[in-house]
Amino acid sequence: MTRIDDVARLAGVSTATVSRALRGLPTVSAATRRRVQAAAEQLQYAVSPSASRLAGGKTGTVAVVVPRITRWFFATVVEAVEDHLHENGYDLLLYNLGGREQTRRRVLRTANLHKRVDAIILVATPLRPADATALTKLDLPGVTISSGSGVPGWPSVRIDDVAAGRTATRHLVDLGHTRIAHISGDPDDELAFTTHLDRRRGYQEALRAAGIRPDPSLDVESQFTVDGGTRATAELLARGEPPTAIFAACDEMAMGAMTALRDAGLRVPQDVSVIGVDDHDLAGALGLSTIAQPAAEQGLLAARILLDPLGVRAAEPYAGSAPAPGGGDASDDTPARPVILPTRLVVRESTAPPRAH
């Protein structure tokens, strides 16, 4: 492969000048830059990332950590992040935790990330205090999306999960429901993952505001998946008199609930109303009422927060390394105020007044 020396020779300049010219540094005359670019093009030169990273100390790479890339919310976030990163010349290293503690530890605890990436985006990743400390010690800029406690000094992007739970539940209350069940997050999850706790809190608040006492027998825990929703609903039905409405902590669980209800011979919404959170791609197809959250926007915003502070420019054909991203001041121990994006109640066919009405 052609190296920087080849380009330098052809252009009649030093390798230092080639390096500067191709990276768009201002200290190169227009004429020289053109000559260098022409030479590079002619030789089909592409900078060696390894060499560039070693010499420059920047990796031009961002790590994105998600719990499960197969879930709608995470795939949508990753797509938006990927777009913005590549648009700006950064590579994306994907880490999918897949629910395994071992993987979580490997990603969060090792010094791997330190020398491998310039920045980190953590999506809905549960963190133990020790994890947060380790991440802070990496001294890398980072952003969390939809993460519970967050990392000290890292900006965070999220929605108001308490409000989401409240709005969903109030919608059911407003329709006249009083026996409102809730299916929610993983009981095995001993980590500080607050999403489902917050949504449940909103549920309970809305019930109490309506003068309804939360009934523990109507509150079932399961996984944040279609199957989880199915199982939780089956358990709910096994407990006795069914509720007239179910608030599921995410759309996938809501969809699972719809299946379980149908399998039990109950109709949605005539017998049981169902509402979720997300506005999943398929919510429309299923007629699922939901609290819509802007997933792509959260991803884009996180990527922007990371890249913009240092004045990242658009990727150039021969850009060797992108400027280091900033955005998180790791030395600042006060958690930055999270950016809260708005949610929106979307009423479809899965919610209706209870039959008694």
Partner DNA sequence: CTGAAAGCGCTTACAG
Q: In terms of CB distance, is 38 or 340 closer to DNA? A: 38
* Residue type at 213 in one-letter notation: R
Query: Exactly one of 38, 41, 54, 342 binds DNA (CB under 7 A); which one?
Result: 54
From the number of C-beta atoms within 10 Å of its C-beta (0-12, 13-18, 19+), residue 15 rates as: middle
| Whole-number Å distance between alpha carbons of 163 and 166 | 5
| Whole-number Å distance between alpha carbons of 357 and 354 | 6
Q: Please check whether residue 10 is in contact with residue 17, taking contact to mean a CB–CB distance below 8 angstroms.
A: no
Q: Please check whether residue 231 is in contact with residue 191, taking contact to mean a CB–CB distance below 8 angstroms.
A: no
Residue 48 in the binding site for DNA (CB under 7 A) = yes
Q: In terms of CB distance, is 55 or 285 closer to DNA? A: 55
Residue 291 phi/psi, 5-degree rounding, is -100, 110
Binding mask 303-332 for DNA (x = CB under 7 A): -----------------xx-----------
CA nearest neighbour of 57 among 308, 303, 321, 326: 321
Q: Please check whether residue 104 is in contact with residue 110, taking contact to mean a CB–CB distance below 8 angstroms.
A: no
Binding mask 66-95 for a copy of itself (x = CB under 8 A): --xxx-x--xx-xx--xx--x----xxxxx
Query: Exactly one of 110, 133, 217, 270 binds a copy of itself (CB under 8 A); which one?
Result: 110
Q: Please check whether residue 58 is in contact with residue 118, taking contact to mean a CB–CB distance below 8 angstroms.
A: yes
Report the residue count for the chain.
Answer: 357
What element of type H or E holds 184? strand 180-184
The one of a copy of itself, DNA, none whose footprint includes residue 17, by CB under 5 to 8 A per kind, is DNA
Q: In terms of CB distance, is 15 or 178 closer to DNA? A: 15
Q: In terms of CB distance, is 232 or 336 closer to a copy of itself? A: 232
Binding residues for a copy of itself (CB under 8 A): 1, 44-51, 53-54, 59, 64, 68-70, 72, 75-76, 78-79, 82-83, 86, 91-96, 98, 103, 106, 110-112, 114-116, 225-226, 230, 252, 255-256, 258-259, 262, 281-282, 284-287, 317
Binding residues for DNA (CB under 7 A): 1, 3-5, 12-20, 22-23, 26-29, 31-33, 45, 47-48, 51-52, 54-58, 320-321
